[in-house]
Structure 1
Amino acid sequence: MSRSTPSQPRVNAAVEICESLNGLLADTLALYLKTKNFHWHVSGPNFREYHLLLDEQATKIFAVVDDIAERVRKLGGATLRSINQAAAMTRIAPNEADDVSARDMLAELLEDNRAYAACLRTAHEICDGHGDVATASLLEVWIDDAEQRIWFLQATTRGAEAGRS
């Protein structure tokens, strides 16, 4: 861990924060790819609505990737270097099934986004514990973005639990 960085929390604090952020980076990449996968493969009566929703959500998720990686670098840490490293670290389970219903796609992404938001909150607690206001501030924006995705997915799937489409 380099000490000549713009943000210089204590070394052990920076290590813990960077580890948390790298886990989020892996999760963000996995959530992006899963959302794009479902965007590419969704079908059914609400195709256009779901296709556009998932594309919009994927775009917003991907926008966070560079910010997370750059924050790690500002703290003096190293970011993920490969998709293999990201795959090993992510907490987002892939879905490689050939045929997934639109309802199941949205329900799975709803749960994934809930889990992702929980990981963002955990990272925020770590930053708060170390007085890293700058990273905590970024995390607050990302939490709000995740909550918006959760809200949209909940609202979109609301009738689905009762067997309605």
Structure 2
Amino acid sequence: MANKDPKAHDASTPNLTTPTDLGAEARNAVSAGLTNLLADVFALFVKTKNFHWHVSGPHFRDYHLLLDDQAALVFAMVDPVAERARKLGGTTLRSVGQIASLKRLSDNDAAFVAPEAMLDELRQDNESLVKFMRELHQLCDEKEDVATASLIENWIDQTEERVWFLFETTRHTR
């Protein structure tokens, strides 16, 4: 038996389909969008923890704690995003490789990143995440998936709060 493409999203797996009044096309589209969002959330979590572990300098304690708090908030999105895709009868991420193939946020593997550059990069990534969520919200509106749209609205608010904190923390350096 040949392996399926790990990037392929198949919400029509009969043993995993759950009851919903949304049509198959809506379920497939929204759950695929949620899986892409989940890959971005994982990527943002790992980058935030990377910067948390590697921050240095005179504001070390403040930045270290801020990034730990932000990583926890990002990680708190993981299960609700994945479970919403499953509630729709879709499938979701199965591997780190699939995360890497679906994520839209870039990695940062640099040996050293200045603390203010870390915070600015995370601010930009969170802003991108808001953009991705607004696009998915638009899809939910088109497919009449008010439950997913409602969750996304809360995630947008939480992400905008992270943007605000990152912006205010580095305001003096601009």
TM-score of the superposed pair, with normalisation by structure 2: 0.90
Cα distance in 1 for partners of 2:20, 2:41 equals 23
Contact 1:8 1:75 in 2 (8 A): no
Q: Report the equivalent of 1:38.
A: 51
Residue number in structure 1 paired with 2:65? 52
Of 126, 142, 146, the match for 1:129: 142
The C-alpha deviation readout for 1:89-119, integer Å capped at 9, x for no partner, is: 0011000100100011001001000000000
Which 5+ residue runs of structure 2 have no aligned equivalent? Answer: 1-11
Query: Are residue 20 (structure 1) and residue 10 (structure 2) matched?
Result: no
Whether the aligned pair in 1 keeps the contact of 2:17 and 2:90 (CA below 8 Å) is no
Gapped runs of 5+ residues in structure 1? none
Count of residues in correspondence between the two structures: 161
Q: CA shift at 1:33, angstroms?
A: 0.3
CA distance in 1, matches of 2:123, 2:146: 29
1:138 maps onto 2:147 in alignment: no
Candidates 74, 78, 81, aligned match of 1:61: 74
How far is 1:7 from its partner? Answer: 2.9
TM-score using structure 1 length: 0.95
The alignment partner of 1:80 has SS state of: coil
After superposition, what is the alpha-carbon deviation per residue over 1:13-42, rounded to whole angstroms, capped at 9, x for unaligned?
Answer: 111101110010000000000000000000
Report if aligned partners of 2:44, 2:105 keep a CA contact under 8 Å in 1: yes
Aligned partner of 1:96 in structure 2 is: 109
1:83 aligns with 2:96: yes
Distance 1:77 1:4, change over 3 A: closer
- How far apart in 2 are the matches of 1:157 and 1:7? 45
Work out whether 1:5 is the aligned partner of 2:18. yes
Query: Whose helix proportion is higher, 1 or 2?
Result: 1
Could you tell me whether the CA contact under 8 Å between 1:36 and 1:58 is conserved in 2?
Answer: yes
Please tell me whether the aligned partners of residues 57 and 149 of structure 1 are also in contact (alpha carbons under 8 angstroms): yes
CA drift at 1:4? 4.9
Question: For the Cα contact (< 8 Å) 2:30–2:136, is it kept in 1?
Answer: yes
* C-alpha RMSD of matched pairs (Å): 1.1
